[in-house]
A = this chain, B = another copy of it.
């Protein structure tokens, strides 16, 4: 994993307004995972790329390499209909924001995707994505799962949450939904990565679930507000889930299913690929078993997952004490940290009361502090990490 990106902490350090606006527009022009578009972006920067794609003179696009005239015409056509200011407004209406590469909240592990890196991410929810992603695991699987699969996904979600890990999934029916619900039931932290706009509810039946995730966790997507999912967008969304997390656990998957694409993507990116076995008589475990006969690691519970993904010290700063000095924490996070008494574990509610903030906000900051190594979780309660009291060194370049 590359250790690029700015030092975290402090207030946002936005890329300039013109670049943000250009990137907002480009999320509606460059399709997720389009490596040609990614290369243009790398070669010309967002502002210049947008200028070329929207210039009245069609020749302006000709300097863009590797695109057929037909394809370029299609992209230019899409570019004409895009209104980035409207995107930003629509995002704000649902409490969302745009997070761009290089900004403080950007999860720099997404840079591992190279030219397939998202142009930017649309994010809903109070927690900061970068911090949450530091200690996150993806739990994915079949939509039409069995009761066994749903049970296991929910148990893994809860178990990972109890161990202070953030669970990332796709908010789909079946395994995804069960994993998110397992986390929420345990009062934990979960991120839904959508294949549509963050203001768009898909699937419809998960409106309430996605709403709860946006309140207690994070809802993330590459596509601008108002975008709808397509089959290819589901597949390409999976690469973001794989890249964002330390590893991907497949709970149930048919032979050659989309969840396996996520898992193999994780493998290619140097993340851990894990699978939960099931009955060999179940077609919904056949894909997982295929994975486990290859590169996947068999896991049966949350403890085994954490044992595996927790091995890389780089991304698990909690194991070695805080990675940031206290005075680089943003004001709300610093207040939450100060709200923790010296030696006893307290529940989220009393932290929130003490810090003068809401329960959801306090929980978001506690998870962030957990990622940074300041606090530890004890069952449902939180306490100051013993190593956090005196530590005050900055570990530059960690991500």
Contact = CB atoms under 8 A, between A and B. Distances in A.
A304 interface: yes
Interface of A: 148, 151-152, 276-281, 285-286, 289, 292-293, 297-301, 304
Contact of A301 (B152, B278, B280, B298): B280
A159 to B, nearest CB: 12
Contact of A277 (B151, B280, B301, B304): B280
A301 B280 CA distance: 8
Contact of A280 (B152, B280, B281, B292): B152
Nearest to A301: B280
Nearest to A286: B300
Contact of A278 (B152, B277, B293, B304): B277
Contacts of A276: 280
Nearest to A304: B293
A298 B300 contact: no
Contacts of A281: 148, 151-152
A42 to B, nearest CB: 41
22 contacts: A148-B279, A148-B281, A151-B281, A152-B281, A277-B277, A277-B279, A277-B289, A277-B292, A277-B298, A278-B278, A278-B280, A280-B300, A280-B301, A289-B298, A289-B300, A292-B292, A292-B298, A293-B297, A293-B298, A293-B299, A293-B304, A298-B298
Nearest to A285: B277
A148 B277 CA distance: 14
The 9 A-B pairs at the shortest CB distance, nearest first, are namely: A277-B277, A280-B300, A292-B298, A289-B300, A293-B298, A278-B279, A148-B279, A276-B280, A279-B279
Contacts of A299: 293
A276 B285 CA distance: 12
A297 B297 CA distance: 11
Give this chain's copy count.
2
Contacts of A285: 277
A78 to B, nearest CB: 45
A148 B280 CA distance: 9
A278 B278 CA distance: 5
A276 B298 CA distance: 12
Given A277-B277, A278-B279, 7 more contacts: A148-B279, A151-B281, A276-B280, A277-B292, A277-B298, A293-B304, A298-B298
A298 B276 CA distance: 12
Contacts of A297: 293
A283 B300 CA distance: 11
Which of A148, A152, A277: most chain B CB closer than 10 A? A277
A26 to B, nearest CB: 43
A276 B292 CA distance: 12
A304 to B, nearest CB: 7
A306 B293 CA distance: 15
A285 B282 CA distance: 15
Contacts of A279: 148, 277-279
Which of A151, A152, A289, A301: most chain B CB closer than 10 A? A289
Contacts of A277: 277-280, 285, 289, 292, 298
A151 B304 CA distance: 29
A154 to B, nearest CB: 12
A141 to B, nearest CB: 13
Which of A276, A279, A293, A299: most chain B CB closer than 10 A? A279
A281 to B, nearest CB: 7
Contacts of A289: 277, 298, 300
Nearest to A288: B277
A304 B293 CA distance: 10
